[in-house]
Structure 1
Amino acid sequence: MKGRTIALDHVNKTEAAALLVDGRLEDLFLDHDTPSPGTIYRAVAGRPVKGQGGMFVNTPDGPGFLRQVKGLSPGDSLLVQVTGHAEPGKAMPVTAKILFKSRHAIITPSAPGINISRAIRDEEIRVSLLEIAHEEMAGREMGLILRSSCAEAAADDIAHDIAQMRDLATAVTGDASGEGTEKLLDGDSPHTLAWREWTDKADIVTDDGCFADLGILDQIDLLRDARVPLPGGACIYIEPTRALTAVDINTGADTSPAAGLKANLAAARELPRQLRLRGIGGQITLDLAPMNKKDRRQFETALRAAFRSDTVETALVGWTPLGHYELQRKRDRISLNEFAI
């Protein structure tokens, strides 16, 4: 199977979306029963947690933890948006900086101004997009970001997307001063996320059972194994714990002087895909195969290049005194281990 394919299906009554590139699973969205990132609540401020620089807020779906608390007092009503998935036993992370995100447009109520994705470099396209944006946002104090997908989209589609998100933002923010807690907007479902985020040209398959027909279920089964084979006989082991995820890189049967560097570079290229598909976030520690210190810069360059195109926000923290490499990754997906697929 060549090219990009988007598969939309239900597996064990769970809505699911998968992105295949040349038959290889590259991204995966699965539905779940916890609040999705993007969900918006009218919340009530609770007690501050000075030691953590934040405050608990009450929502209809349980407590949230908010870090931007300047000017807030317990009992105040405010709008918050879920930014990720909570670790077991912890409050869900929320922000007061609300975003209304669609395929082509992002409305930013608290940040006025019009911006266009830097990925769009054609000056003629940028000028035409600014004209559309100013026309649709005329008289509005909200901000707008036009996404990179606008480069290939029709003007009418972009204008419709802006207007739809603008009107939604107006309606939701208008409920900020209501009484008590209330869910005002659900986060996007897997099928909607696929439409919103996978904007490059692709074949779309919506037949019932397409996950099985396209071999997606078999590839998901492989993701449940801690061991991931790499080219040249090397492998990595990805093992989540409560505190962090440990990634162990092994050279396999290769005993050449460059075996460690080759294994580490192969692991750097594969790691974003594995973390994305497995739904792994939080602190990640890499136990690399042995290599010379002079090769660290080459490994870091490969790692940065691999994560540059990843859709999940990841901070490349750096080296520890023991020679491990640490990452910090946003928890915007539920772990694959929590799904019975």
Structure 2
Amino acid sequence: MKGRTIILDHLDGREAAALMVDGQLDDFLIESDAPAPGTIYRARADRPVKGQGGMFLSTPDGSAFLRQVKGLAPGQLLLVQATGYAEPGKAIPVTQKLLFKSRYAIITPDAPGLNLSRSIRDDAERDRLLEIAHDTMGDAPFGLILRSSCAGAGEDDVAEDIARMAGLASEVLNDFGTETETLLDGDGPHALAWRDWTDPAEIVTSAQGFSDHGVLDAIAAAGGAAEPLAGGGRMFIEPTRALIAVDVNTGPDSSLAAGVKANLACAKALPRALRVRGLGGQITLDLAPMPKKDRRSFETALRAAFRADSEETALVGWTPLGHYELQRRRGRTPLAGILA
């Protein structure tokens, strides 16, 4: 089935959202028991970590860890925002750089100024959006980023979104409580789908939507390690406690270029496979054999694939053993842990 379809449904009693592109599951979000990224806390500094420049904090949801701390004393209250899901047994990763993010607008309290997404290139459209931003923000002390989804959007829709996020930011920042507290919950799957899946798509909200559109079968396939690649190869994605191992096999192809073709297919398919499985952290690729002269073309393909991905991923580089390493933000909860 051609085209984009967004299905909003529930799976095992949990809110979930699926994005199908040309009949293939391209993205999947599911509610977790853990606090969602974007959650804002009034936290209390607990104890510093010597040698790492970090501080453990107390929150209503348990311990959190803040990196690159300066001038923060134990017992001090501060506002922080969850940046991802915690690894099992570890503290929630948080930052002091708060973002209030919606479909069209991102309010940046610590970075004043009005900015537009660089993907909006039309001068007339940029002028139109900047005028809306100036009129709506007025003399508000916050910064604003207008997202790429603003292009072509109605003036009232953009202005309403900006005003709502600016009001929310003001409410949170002016909450001067004296105890640890959750001030804002992170967005759930349905809200995230509305916020981030902005390209034109059919929206399905009916009961049994996952079953009717093949989402359940795609989820079952993603529960296994094997991921088919174009050209007949396969990659096996296996999370361990320390890292995520990805093994690339050429399959039945025995030609001299089999390794290069399988590795390029892996580069193209890997972001979607990680998104659907909800995987992040350290990732090590055990690629199919290929000449060193082809490494640059592989890196170029990998960089292009992750450029369009929704989760921040750093391409770290090659190891002495010839593996390729990545570091990916844990912005989703692992699908296997939810459905186990």
Pick the TM interval, shorter chain: over 0.9
Look up the equivalent residue of 1:154 and give its one-letter code.
G
Residue equivalent to 1:158:
158
- Stretch deviating more after TM superposition (227-236 or 304-313): 227-236
Deviation for aligned residue 1:339:
1.7
Residue in structure 2 matched with residue 62 of structure 1 by the alignment:
62
Conserved in 2, the CA contact under 8 Å of 1:57 and 1:66?
yes
1:85 and 2:85 correspond:
yes
- AA matched with 1:86: A
Displacement after TM superposition at 1:232 (Å) = 2.1
Contact 1:68 1:96 in 2 (8 A): no
The offset of 1:2, in angstroms, is: 1.6
Structure 1 residue 107 and structure 2 residue 107: aligned? yes
Structure 2 SS opposite 1:232: coil
Letter in 2 for 1:223: A
In 1: Cα distance, 2:12 partner to 2:333 partner: 17
TM-score scaled by length of structure 2:
0.99
Cα distance in structure 2, aligned partners of 1:46 and 1:66: 11
TM-score, normalised to structure 1's length? 0.98
Name stretches of at least 5 consecutive residues in structure 2 with no aligned partner: none
Q: Which amino acid aligns with 1:136?
A: T
Kindly indicate whether the alpha-carbon contact (under 8 Å) linking 1:64 and 1:94 is maintained by their aligned counterparts in 2.
yes
Where does 1:113-132 land on structure 2 (aligned, <5 Å)?
113-132=113-132
Structure 1 residue 231: Cα displacement: 2.1
2:259 match: secondary structure: helix
Counterpart of 2:37, as a letter, is P
Taking the aligned partners of 1:337 and 1:54, their CA distance within structure 2 comes to 31
What is the deviation of 1:68?
3.7
CA displacement at 1:309 relative to structure 2 = 0.4
Aligned position for 1:214: 213
Task: Note if 1:195 corresponds to 2:194.
Answer: yes
Question: Is residue 2:328 matched to residue 1:329?
Answer: yes
Q: Secondary structure at the match of 2:72?
A: coil
Question: Per-residue displacement from partner, 1:217-275 (whole Å, max 9, x unpaired)?
Answer: 00000001111121222111111100001100111121111011011011111000001
C-alpha distance in 2 between matches for 1:50 and 1:276: 35
SS of the residue aligned with 1:233? Answer: coil
CA deviation after TM superposition for structure 1 residue 70, in Å? 1.5
Counterparts of 1:314 and 1:211, CA distance in 2: 29
- What is the aligned partner in structure 2 of residue 142 from structure 1? 142
Contact 1:105/1:162 (8 A) holds in 2 = yes
Does 1:258 pair with 2:257? yes
Match of 2:295 in 1: 296
Equivalent AA in structure 1 for residue 220 of structure 2: D
Runs of 4+ off more than 6 Å = none
Determine the structure 1 residue equivalent to 2:312: 313
The one-letter code of the counterpart of 1:247 is V
Matched, 1:76 2:62: no
Task: Please give the per-residue CA displacement for 1:44-92, whole angstroms capped at 9, x wherever unaligned.
Answer: 1111112222101110110100114222111111111000000000000
**Structure 1 SS opposite 2:110:** coil
Identity of aligned residues (%): 67
Q: How far does the alpha carbon of each residue in 1:277-318 deviate from its partner, in whole angstroms, 9 at most, with x for none?
A: 111111000011011110111111111111110000000000
Q: Output the aligned Cα RMSD.
A: 0.9
* Distance in 2 between residues matched to 1:232 and 1:149, nearest whole Å: 35
Partner of 2:22: 22
Q: Secondary structure at the match of 1:316?
A: strand
Contact 1:14–1:30 (CA under 8 A) maintained in structure 2:
yes
Instruction: Write the distance in 1 (CA, Å) between the matches of 2:190 and 2:232.
Output: 37
